[in-house]
Structure 1
């Protein structure tokens, strides 16, 4: 849907701009010429009603001139600077909740044209720990949001609810980005609480995960089995191990037992990246119980405490 909206904005911008330009270059001078002839034949200044009768401006031109600046500004802002998104699920809990409205920095991973999404200008690449929005590799009509945990060349292991990373290192390097070269680095976690979140009747454990240079919270359900039989099987590796190809990234949801991510479907190609999530600008609470007269999509409150930068 977001992709179709981008195309619609571009078409509206180009269409209204062309109408304005063609009128300015071709038809407006002809109207001015008619007005000059009429003014020369009159002893008094022509009023607006007479001008509108002699050289009327077509309604389509008037509308194009009025909407073009606004549509162009929206298209530029949304395509190249920031784009709003709504969080539709709980796969990024506790960092992002269903009902959060976020801003995504579109220029973080390169400036791309809004229709074909080809990269126009290189501006940067994802860093480990970034929360990235990207086109779902199996269906690019859908936008996904996950945390980047694996960079190109990394070896990733997720076993017994524990993340390990063996980083790609150049010859002679002993450490890269806070990870030791040549070994699988266990990513440490600390328990925050066990009673804040639930999945049905089951309590979720909230932990702080210490990625290099980034600390963030995750959720683990200790009462369910890991669905390793559903993991993406990369040729030449074990079922719970992956080697991130060049030009791709390994992404995981913070709600580890309730996230369809790279463990299930593979890697995020660089060309699928949309931008980096940076800010929560609005957050609605949907606490409509079974006895509520309101539909489930009607918000019951605003979570002002959630507004701010995303970690």
Structure 2
């Protein structure tokens, strides 16, 4: 009887935030009753969640070193595959939606607080080196962020039902109001701002702050998350308490259609520099970032624990993913 050669044939995903899981597929893993092989990442042991002779699932520890790390399984020889581990960029934030990059590659994050809570800082600006500075104060429940074609930051407040405009120097002015539970921001190609009211409305706001309803979306118990595609179609995630949720498409004329079914709890959305949509999906503590193909099929780009937002650095394409209190930089 010929023994199959022990080898790793693939890892999914090849990028992970600390706390995420990796599925290692191959042949000949040394699994016996009551015994699983030791697995290391960057030379440090990682916990084996489950294992068979062909599949080993491991959990990356919360304190794992960032960057490219070698993965090794006990009993295997030959080349060692590498996994990209996200590096902590910032902590001490409170995100309820995705962070946002400006044109210079500086990331902006919220300290949102509980509904009605006054926080000492509303929005932080974070440099590529992780240096963090307060940019906005005094804005109640800073919620969603988006940069406009004018280079200014736009910030919604779910408590006040407003959107404020912030200059690069941190000067704040009210831009639009009476927007309900303002959650989710995205700009169209012609410069209009789309604002989600998680009670069930997408508003279209012109450059003067005047707004009117664009479309009706089923309400969400948590949030609306928005992203505008290269063809000016709006993509909306509106998580519910159902076990299966959907992504919606909204045309520039306001026509709504159900696009992709079968998400657990779709949250933050972002398009990369190539126009490819990425979606955070999180349910019962497990979370991943899906890469969505043009036909609607999905592959896991990054796994993590408690992920809710995603953004891309326009200067180098690097991905940022966040939990509610930590932001990781993932150099794919």
TM-score (norm 1): 0.27
Q: Which has the larger radius of gyration?
A: 1
Q: Which is bigger in relative contact order (C-alpha 8 A, separation at least 6)? A: 1
Structure in which a larger fraction of residues adopt helix: 1
